[in-house]
Amino acid sequence: MEPMNKDFVIKGQQIYLRPITEADTEMVVRWRNLPVVVKNFIYRKPVSCTDHENWLKNKVFKGLVHQFIVCRNEDDMPLGSIYLQNFEEENKKAEWGIYLGEEQAYGKGIGTEAAKLVLDYAFTTLGMHKVVSRVLERNKASIRMNEKAGYVQEAYLKEELFLDGQYEDLILFGAINPKG
């Protein structure tokens, strides 16, 4: 996949998505290390600014990850980040992920709207056939968001992961491009 054009913007009703930049690093690292985010992620280790800069250099700026900042339309406030990764060009498949880092963003449909925008981007702009996600069974907000955005549960993996001293069930979601 080619890296995203820096000026590319995806416009929604409450929010818009713009490509992540190096200038977002401190903010994104803060979000990514919040307990509310970490507890819902499979990768649990603290992320440093250097880790994130390497991620940008090796993944995002090479086009291996398409990562956006979710911004509020009314005042441009950055609220979180959403991304497509693990592109499989042969299968036209990608995986998506999201985290909101600002408290005022939660529970207003922002996650669902961002999810829909990125799914449409994956299908329409990137020509993906399938987009998937992995969600811990106890992450009810994410499960609901996936369902509302058009994802369907494809698998339920019992005690799939050993995280922080306990086994966790994992749900695999998928969405298929209706246009091929």
Ligand X SMILES: CC(C)(COP(=O)(O)OP(=O)(O)OC[C@H]1O[C@@H](n2cnc3c(N)ncnc32)[C@H](O)[C@@H]1OP(=O)(O)O)[C@@H](O)C(=O)NCCC(=O)NCCS
> Looking at this protein, which amino acid is placed at residue 86?
N
| Residue whose CB is less far from ligand X, 61 or 120 | 120
CB closer to ligand X, 4 vs 112: 112
Number of residues that bind ligand X (CB under 6 A): 21
* Encoded tokens for 34: 């919040």
Nearest to residue 175, comparing CAs of 109, 119, 135?
119
Of positions 9, 11, 36, 86, contacts ligand X by CB under 6 A? 36
Binding of ligand X at residue 33 (CB under 6 A)? no
* Residue 114 tokens, joined: 């961002």
Q: Residue 9 and residue 11: Cα distance in Å, rounded?
A: 6
User: Is residue 61 part of the contact set for ligand X (CB under 6 A)?
Assistant: no
Site string for ligand X, 94-133 (x = CB under 6 A): ----xxx-----xxxxxxx---------------------
Query: Min. distance of Cβ 110 from ligand X in angstroms?
Result: 4
Name residue 10's amino acid: I
Using the 8-state DSSP alphabet, how is residue 76 labeled?
-
56 binds ligand X (CB under 6 A): no
Any contact of residue 59 with ligand X (CB under 6 A)?
Answer: no
Q: Smallest Cα–Cα separation from 73: which of 6, 17, 111, 115?
A: 17
Position 153: which residue type? Q
Name residue, tokens 């900042």: 69
Q: What are the structure tokens assigned to 90, written together?
A: 């042969």
Q: Is 142 in the site for ligand X (CB under 6 A)?
A: yes
Question: Per CB under 6 A, does 153 bind ligand X?
Answer: no
Which positions lie near ligand X, rule CB under 6 A? 36-37, 40, 80, 98-100, 106-112, 135, 139-142, 144-145
